[in-house]
A = this chain, B = another copy of it.
Amino acid sequence: MSLYLTLKDQLLKNILEGSYGSGSVLPTEHELCEQYGLSRVTVRKALDELKKEGLVSSVQGQGTIVSHRRGGFHSSLDLIALVAPVHSPFFASFMEFFERAAEENGSLVLFKQDFKGSALHSDELYFRFMKKNIRNIVLWQQTERIDFELFSRLRAIGMNLVLFDQMYETDVADVVCLDNHHAVVSLFNEMRSVYSGKIIFIGFGGMALPSEVLREQAFMEVSGTESGIYTIPWGHDIETETIGLLERLRVDHILPAGILCCNGPIGLAAARYLRKHGMDHLPLAAIDYIPEMAEYPMMAYRQPMKELAEKAYQRLAVQNNHGEDWQARSFQLRGEVIHFDT
């Protein structure tokens, strides 16, 4: 590879890592010459490339600074990268709707597998996206920690971002997610209307999932107590952990109780457990709809996957088309309660 391309890559890397500090002023051309042992022509050629791609801009007598866009980047929606844990059971549905929306508008969707949020903590992935001029990203991340500093830098140099299933609002990206509060409250009230006993919540421990936090909060709010929240560890086998938890609850006489599960697999595991132990009559509800649930007397909160996917695509289009006028927004979409009465 030519010297100026190597330097260009290096500068891009530095920009993404935030090495150029708060003012975002690059070293002068002269300094770069000395640092990398290159002639001024080569340095200028590298900077020219970055300017062409809109990553930096330079003012005579002042220096070269990293771009600091706040709005959307007017590029093409040809290609969208969807960063997600591909094997999450609900990815299939989201993916299908998202891809359909994208293809109807002539966009190609490529997926980047993200094992448990690891992709989010590395600049490396975004460095590669920028190198390949992939500037439209939808992120479905399953960790609570997000490097907003990095996202801010990405936005500044011209990357369009949409976060899916994310609890924080931010001004660097649109956020599209389920109305978790509505989901929990709806299910709780439906259960309460047919059952006057204790209702407990089963979620994931360690607050690994952003939506989990919101669901727990909503449950505390609607139930008026913190005592009914139980968790299984995140990342382990859900079936095993749920059964283990329910067994302990039964021994401790916390069961019988109504059970509100924070997601589908937990709900299904609970349904099987209840049937096996003759506790079918207890009200059971879960966020997320899984076809197999129809075999059990339970409730599910179906996420509006189609609407979520279409909204995510639409916001990416807005960022592309409205450029500087774009302003980050957050969207909570509501699903619906489904009753399975067998």
Contacts and interface: CB of A to CB of B under 8 A. Distances in A.
Interface stretch (A108-116, A204-212, A247-255): A108-116
Interface string A111-125: 111000000000001
Given A78-B132, A79-B132, A92-B87, A109 B113 contact: yes
Contact of A113 (B87, B95, B112): B95
A128 interface: yes
Contacts of A110: 81, 110-112
Interface in A64-109: 78-79, 81, 86-87, 92, 95, 99, 108-109
Contact of A108 (B86, B87, B109, B128): B128
A131 interface: yes
Nearest to A111: B111
A78 B131 contact: yes
Contacts of A108: 112, 125, 128, 132
Contacts of A128: 78-79, 108
Q: Kindly name the residue among A79, A92, A108 whose own CB sees the greatest number of chain B CB atoms within 10 A.
A: A108
A311 B81 CA distance: 26
A92 B87 CA distance: 7
Nearest to A92: B87
Contacts of A86: 86, 92, 95, 111
Interface size class of A (residues with CB under 8 A): 10 to 19
B111 A113 contact: yes
Q: Kindly name the residue among A78, A111, A112 whose own CB sees the greatest number of chain B CB atoms within 10 A.
A: A111
A118 to B, nearest CB: 11
A127 to B, nearest CB: 10
Contacts of A79: 128, 132
Contacts of A109: 112-113
Nearest to A131: B78
Interface in A279-330: none
Q: Kindly name the residue among A86, A92, A109, A131 whose own CB sees the greatest number of chain B CB atoms within 10 A.
A: A86
Nearest to A107: B128
A113 B113 CA distance: 12
Interface string A240-269: 000000000000000000000000000000
A98 to B, nearest CB: 10
Contacts of A113: 95, 99, 109, 111
Contacts of A95: 86, 113
Interface in A109-151: 109-113, 125, 128, 131-133
Interface of A: 78-79, 81, 86-87, 92, 95, 99, 108-113, 125, 128, 131-133
Given A86-B95, A86-B111, 8 more contacts: A86-B86, A95-B113, A99-B113, A108-B112, A108-B128, A109-B112, A110-B110, A111-B111
11 contacts: A78-B128, A78-B131, A81-B110, A86-B95, A95-B113, A99-B113, A108-B112, A108-B125, A109-B113, A110-B112, A111-B112
